[in-house]
Amino acid sequence: MQPVAAADITAEGGAAPSTIPGPRPLEPLGVEVPSTVPTHWYNLAADLPVPVPPHLHPGTHEPLGPEDLAPLFPMALIQQEVTTERYVEIPQTVREIYAMWRPSPLVRAHRLERALGTRARVYYKYEGVSPVGSHKPNTAVAQAYYNAVEGVMRLTTETGAGQWGASLSMACALLGMTCEVWQVRASYDSKPYRRMQMETYGGICHPSPSDLTEAGRAMLAKDPDTTGSLGMAISEAVEAAVKDPGAHYSLGSVLNHVMLHQSVIGQEVLVQLAEAGERQADVVFGCAGGGSNLGGLTFPLIGQNLREGTTTRAVACEPAACPSLTQGEYRYDHGDVAGLTPLLKMHTLGNDFVPPAIHAGGLRYHGMSPMVSHAVELGLMEAVAVEQDDAFAAGIEFARAEGLIPAPESTHAVAAAMAYARTSASDGEVVVIGLSGNGVLDLAAYSAYV
C-alpha cells in the first residue's frame, strides 16, 4: 500500500487524508517476552538533586502546559515529558517489539584491549543489532505506539544521517501508520541507502530544506545552496504536523520522553555488568548529538550513583565541529531554526548555527537534551569534543580489532574511550563504550580514511 504524500497537501494548507484502512496492530500478540527485556523505563528526573528547568512557551515564555504540546504529541508522551516518577511501565505491545532485538549485547572487547595494550576491561554496548542498525527504534516504537493508541495515523519527523527516519518509518510500518521524513540535505545527498531504507518501510523522504513548507521556502530563499541542518528539518516537520489535524510530530532525541525510552540501554548494562562479575562501570563513553543514546546509556548508572553511592563517570563525546556541550552557552533556546518549537534550557550554539557537513550527520545539532545539559551543569556528567579524523581513525582501529564497523556517530565515543584506555585507565578499570549503531550504510564516509 502506498502512503499518502501528505507534504504536497500540507503545502496547500488543506487537511490530509492520513489514514490507512484495516485493523491496527496495537494489541499484544501474546508471545512470551524474555524477562531480560526491561519491563519499565527509568527516569533520572526522580533522582536528580535539582529539577530539570521546564520547557517554556515560545510566545509567553511561561512554562508549557499540556495543551500547548497537544498539537504535536499524544497525551501519554506529554505526561512522560514532565513526569518525575522513577519508573514508567513499558506497554506489552512495545515490549514484544523490543524483544525482536533486546536485550542488546554487552560485549567484552578482548581484542581491542590487546590492541590498545590496556589493563582496563573494555566493554561495548551494541545497539546496532536493531533492525535498522541503531538505538533509535527504542523510542521510535514507543512514540509510534502512543500516537496510534490516540488514533493518529500520520507522523512527521526530521532526520540527519537517516537512522532516525528509518527507525520511525519502521515503527510506523509495524503499527500501521504513515511516516513522512525531512532529511538534512547534506545526508540526503551523501547517504542514499538510508532514504531507500525509509522507502522500503513505506516512509516518504524529502531533502531539507524543501519547498514543501513555509519554513523550508524561507531557508532556501536565504541560502539556496545550504547543506541543511537538523534544526531546519525540525522546523519543516513541525510545520507539516501542525497543518494537518490528523498528524503528529515525532522527535528522535533531545526531549525528556526520548531519554526515558532509551533508558532500556543503561538498565540492561547494569544487569549485564553484574552478570559479568563487575561491581560497577568506572567510566562510560557515549556520543552526543541530541543526547539520547548517551542519556539512555548513562542515566540509569548516574541514578545508581545518586541512590547507592556508586562512582561511575559518564562522558559525553561530541564532534569538535558541533560542540554544543563544550563550547555552547547554557540558556533557553529553540530546538529548531524557525523558532516553532518550545524554548528548551540547554547547551546551544544558537538555533541558526549551521554545522559543517561532517559525516556523523546524526551529531549535527545546535543544541542538546535539557536533561543531559542539566546533568553536565550539576557535575553528574563530563563532556569532550572529538575531531572527525580522530573519530574515523578510532572507528577503523575498532573495526580491525573487533570486526564491527561503528556508525560515524558512535566513533566519537570509541575514540574518546580508546584514548582513555590507552593513556589514563588504571589496571582493572571497567570502561563501557556506547556503540549506538553500525556503519555498514556509511562506508562511503569511511572510504576517505582507509
Ligand X SMILES: Cc1ncc(COP(=O)(O)O)c(C=O)c1O
> Using CB under 6 A as the criterion, which residues of the chain lie in contact with ligand X when the complex forms?
134, 160-161, 163-164, 253, 287-294, 362-363, 407, 409-410, 436-437
Output 242 or 449, the one with its CB closest to ligand X. 449
Residue of this chain nearest to ligand X (CB atom) = 362
The grid coordinates of residue 98 equal 523490543
Residue with C-alpha cell 531533502? 207
Do you find a cis peptide bond into 209, omega within 30 degrees of 0?
yes
The least distance separating ligand X from the CB of residue 231, rounded to whole angstroms, comes to: 14
Output 176 or 367, the one with its CB closest to ligand X. 367
The least distance separating ligand X from the CB of residue 82, rounded to whole angstroms, comes to: 20
Q: Which residues of 236-245 are buried (b: 16+ CB within 10 A; e: fewer)?
A: bbbbbbbbbe
The least distance separating ligand X from the CB of residue 294, rounded to whole angstroms, comes to: 6
The number of residues in the chain equals 450
The least distance separating ligand X from the CB of residue 34, rounded to whole angstroms, comes to: 25
**Sequence-distant (≥ 6) Cβ neighbours of residue 24 within 8 angstroms:** 148, 175, 176
Give the whole-angstrom CA distance, residue 123 versus residue 240. Answer: 42
Output 118 or 138, the one with its CB closest to ligand X. 138
Give the closest residue to 360 by CA, choosing from 205, 195, 231, 187: 187
Taking a C-beta distance cutoff of 8 angstroms, is the pair 43, 83 a contact? Answer: yes
Output 68 or 333, the one with its CB closest to ligand X. 333
**Sequence-distant (≥ 6) Cβ neighbours of residue 192 within 8 angstroms:** none
Output 290 or 355, the one with its CB closest to ligand X. 290
Beta-carbon neighbour count of residue 248 at 10 Å? Answer: 26
Output 18 or 262, the one with its CB closest to ligand X. 262
* Backbone phi and psi for residue 81, each to the nearest 5 degrees, phi listed first: -65, -30
Give the whole-angstrom CA distance, residue 251 versus residue 159. Answer: 9
Output 243 or 412, the one with its CB closest to ligand X. 412
Residue with C-alpha cell 545539559? 373
The least distance separating ligand X from the CB of residue 383, rounded to whole angstroms, comes to: 12
Give the closest residue to 313 by CA, choosing from 164, 140, 432, 220: 432
Output 90 or 161, the one with its CB closest to ligand X. 161
Output 132 or 425, the one with its CB closest to ligand X. 132
The least distance separating ligand X from the CB of residue 128, rounded to whole angstroms, comes to: 8
DSSP conformation class of 438: B
What one-letter code names the amino acid at 299? F
The least distance separating ligand X from the CB of residue 140, rounded to whole angstroms, comes to: 11
DSSP 117-143: T--SEEEEEEGGGSTTSBSTHHHHHHH
Output 112 or 360, the one with its CB closest to ligand X. 360
Q: Is 212 exposed, middle or buried (0-12, 13-18, 19+ CB in 10 A)?
A: buried
Output 209 or 439, the one with its CB closest to ligand X. 439
The least distance separating ligand X from the CB of residue 268, rounded to whole angstroms, comes to: 16
Alpha-helical segments (H) within 87-129? 92-98, 110-116
Output 164 or 201, the one with its CB closest to ligand X. 164
The least distance separating ligand X from the CB of residue 288, rounded to whole angstroms, comes to: 5
The least distance separating ligand X from the CB of residue 438, rounded to whole angstroms, comes to: 8
The least distance separating ligand X from the CB of residue 194, rounded to whole angstroms, comes to: 9
What one-letter code names the amino acid at 315? V
Three-state DSSP class for 90?
Answer: coil
Beta-carbon neighbour count of residue 39 at 10 Å? Answer: 13
Angle separating helix axes 256-275 and 370-377, nearest 10 degrees: 60
Give the whole-angstrom CA distance, residue 19 versus residue 356. Answer: 38
Three-state DSSP class for 124?
Answer: strand
The least distance separating ligand X from the CB of residue 360, rounded to whole angstroms, comes to: 8
